Amino acid sequence: MRSQSRKAGLTLLAAVLAFGGAVYGVTRPASADVVAQLNGPQLVADMGAGWNLGNTLEASNNGIPSETAWGNPTVTQAFIDRVRASGFKTIRIPVSYLGHIGSGPNYPVNAAWLTRIQEVVDYAYSRGLYVLINMHGDGYKTVSGSWLICDAADQTTIKDKYQKVWQQIATRFQSYNEHLIFESMNENFDGQYGNPTQPCYSNINAYNQIFVDTVRRTGGTNASRWLLVPGWNTNIDHTVGTGFVLPTDQNRSSSIPANEQRIMISVHYYDPWDFAGQEDGTITQWGAGATNPAKKSVWGQEDYLDGQLKKMYDKFVTRGYPVFVGEYGSIDKTTYDSTNNRYRTDYARAVVATAKKYGAATAYWDNGWNGQHGFGLFNRSSATVTQQGIIDAIMSAAGGSQPTTQPTTPTTPPTTPTTPPVTTPPPTSPGGTSTCRVSSTVNAWNTGLTTNITITNTGTTTINGWTLTFTLAAGQTIVSGWSAGYSPTSGTVTATNASYNGTLAPGGSASIGYQASHTGNAAVPTGFRLNGTTCS
């Protein structure tokens, strides 16, 4: 698989693109040993459909990372809100460090760059999403300033630098809850496509071990959060083979049940490459629905996809290690074949559905480029959807039920650690005049919608524990939700506060929401009652 041509896609910036190429919770005290409550299967289900903020924080120019270096605009909260409103529950944020790393022996990461990374993380984390961050381009030989090179001579210096940089990243985020996931690196290999070489694979395994040990030793939530590690070039065959060695996790929190893991395995899927990424018009169709055999690859169809992900299931998922298909997708070839988007849609649906079948989560690769050879699903400048059909296919395949745990209230993470309030039983309905105000918005697409609801306590006394009842329009069914529990999923629904947002002080508010399917009626919910009292 060729990262260089696969992810760039920005044809007008080809000279620059030498290569192209995861929920807000109450911030815990750094010293707290907070254990993620989800086991592997629960985590995968809760992560839902994922999406990559590609060609952005991993973009660079002359070895200096800059989010606009490859032509994408500066990331905004409005754009991340659009991604979330489209149904994605996980955002992977590739990050490069390169020239923003100072000299040894401490290798300090530029403070402004770390702060910007945190700001972009918070755009997603504050909206109830899982967020993944990694070390993306530092291991690519094709990138100016790269240094995490597995076959370079001075591995002692490389490993020391790698450890120091991850220590700084992990320390910066040590109080974020388990909805933030760290990924050790991206597509690291020796640059030669083919079988892995030694000792290069041994060094990749060593990087993964350094990563796990370093993150765990920084403490806080890092002692128990999920960590993501890849094998050789995130290649499935070379990860299930004999070369990949799972890192030990001996420094993890003692509170994690002995029979549960906190390590995930990262792979990418772009097979067959002649359909998914090769920039020509020869192969434009994929799957059983293809109508022109001459435009369909001779390999890499549904049976191959199933077999590849079953390998990951057999090797890792059965042992409690979730699999994350951190990148998949196919480029736009409609200039060669007007029917191409149909097959891109079929491909995305099949990857997500097959991954779900075998206990894996997924994240679509979006490089921000729309048009010929682009992976884009959104126009990032206008924060609008450009490929609704592909998004619909992803959401349909991801399906899923209500999340196992609900994300916390969308608010900017506090700088001072706080403790979740203790939920007490709902008070007796105040009756009489209304003490609440509710506003709701709906973003709808063909057969789905996302509803965001804000509850405000307009009374003079604190509400300790609440239920909000409302009625869905006919034909609507909730398929997932956040910041509250929802029951039943259609008709008159009762939303019950989560443990962290049960207290509403006078003037205080909580934001909750859900994704629902519909049969043509995307109307807002009606008849809001908070603890039995009608809301204005």
Answer whether residue 434 shows pLDDT above 60: no
Q: Which class for 31: exposed (0-12), middle (13-18), buried (19 or more C-beta within 10 A)? A: exposed
Answer whether residue 10 shows pLDDT above 50: no
* Residue 498 pLDDT grade (very low, low, confident, very high; cuts 50, 70, 90): confident
pLDDT computed for residue 472 by the predictor: 94
> How confident is the model over 236-256, as pLDDT tens digits?
999 999 999 999 999 999 999
User: What kind and span of H or E run contains 226?
Assistant: none
Q: What rounded mean pLDDT belongs to the chain? A: 86
User: What kind and span of H or E run contains 101?
Assistant: none
CA pair distance 291, 279, nearest whole angstrom: 21
CA pair distance 329, 348, nearest whole angstrom: 6
CA pair distance 262, 223, nearest whole angstrom: 10
> How far does Cα 476 stand from its chain's mean position?
26
Answer whether residue 482 shows pLDDT above 60: yes
- Cβ contact 285:275 at 8 Å: yes
Return the minimum-mean-pLDDT range out of 82-86, 437-441, 519-523.
Answer: 437-441
Q: Provide the residue count of the chain.
A: 536
pLDDT computed for residue 441 by the predictor: 65
Answer whether residue 18 shows pLDDT above 80: no
pLDDT computed for residue 444 by the predictor: 62
What's the rounded mean pLDDT across residues 406-428?
A: 32
Answer whether residue 425 shows pLDDT above 90: no
What's the rounded mean pLDDT across residues 15-23?
A: 32
pLDDT computed for residue 406 by the predictor: 33
Backbone angles phi, psi at 302, to 5 degrees: -55, -40
Q: What is the 3-state secondary structure (H, E, C) of 429-470?
A: CCCCCCCEEEEEEEEECCCEEEEEEEEEECCCCCEECCEEEE
Question: Which residue is it, tokens 């690291």?
Answer: 188
- Cβ contact 71:15 at 8 Å: no
CA pair distance 54, 180, nearest whole angstrom: 18
Return the minimum-mean-pLDDT range out of 16-25, 158-167, 392-401, 494-503.
Answer: 16-25
pLDDT computed for residue 436 by the predictor: 84
What's the rounded mean pLDDT across residues 97-106?
A: 98
Answer whether residue 89 shows pLDDT above 70: yes
CA pair distance 150, 200, nearest whole angstrom: 5
* Residue 449 pLDDT grade (very low, low, confident, very high; cuts 50, 70, 90): confident
Task: List, by residue number, the catalytic residues.
Answer: 187, 327
**Residue 435 vs residue 347, higher pLDDT:** 347
* Residue 61 pLDDT grade (very low, low, confident, very high; cuts 50, 70, 90): very high
Q: How far are the Cα atoms of 15, 82, 345, 399, 514 from residue 388, in angstroms, in the given order? A: 30, 12, 10, 16, 19
Answer whether residue 11 shows pLDDT above 50: no
Q: List the one residue out of 162, 172, 159, 171 whose CA is nearest residue 101.
A: 162
Number of Cβ within a 10 Å radius of residue 91:
27
What's the rounded mean pLDDT across residues 103-126?
A: 98
CA pair distance 401, 514, nearest whole angstrom: 11
* Residue 500 pLDDT grade (very low, low, confident, very high; cuts 50, 70, 90): low
CA pair distance 395, 49, nearest whole angstrom: 7
Answer whether residue 432 shows pLDDT above 70: no
CA pair distance 498, 122, nearest whole angstrom: 20
Return the minimum-mean-pLDDT range out of 5-14, 317-326, 349-358.
Answer: 5-14
Answer whether residue 483 shows pLDDT above 60: yes
**Phi-psi region at 91: left, alpha or beta (left = phi > 0; alpha = psi -120 to 50):** beta
Answer whether residue 186 shows pLDDT above 70: yes
Answer whether residue 467 shows pLDDT above 50: yes
Number of helices and strands in the chain (H, E): 11, 23
pLDDT computed for residue 307 by the predictor: 98
* Residue 454 pLDDT grade (very low, low, confident, very high; cuts 50, 70, 90): confident
* Residue 505 pLDDT grade (very low, low, confident, very high; cuts 50, 70, 90): confident
Answer whether residue 22 shows pLDDT above 80: no
CA pair distance 141, 349, nearest whole angstrom: 33
- Long-range CB pairs of 242-247 (<8 Å, 24+ gap) are 243/196, 243/198, 243/201, 244/201, 244/205, 245/205, 245/208, 246/321, 247/205, 247/208, 247/209, 247/211, 247/212, 247/213
pLDDT computed for residue 211 by the predictor: 98
CA pair distance 511, 70, nearest whole angstrom: 35
Backbone angles phi, psi at 511, to 5 degrees: -110, 130
CA pair distance 19, 191, nearest whole angstrom: 12
pLDDT computed for residue 433 by the predictor: 38
What's the rounded mean pLDDT across residues 510-522?
A: 82
How far does the chain reach from its first CA to its final CA, in angstroms? 56
pLDDT computed for residue 29 by the predictor: 30
pLDDT computed for residue 481 by the predictor: 65
* Residue 399 pLDDT grade (very low, low, confident, very high; cuts 50, 70, 90): confident
CA pair distance 513, 341, nearest whole angstrom: 31
Neighbouring residues of 103: CB distance < 8 A, sequence distance ≥ 6: none
Q: How far are the Cα atoms of 182, 211, 346, 460 from residue 185, in angstroms, in the given order? A: 9, 9, 29, 51
Answer whether residue 473 shows pLDDT above 80: yes
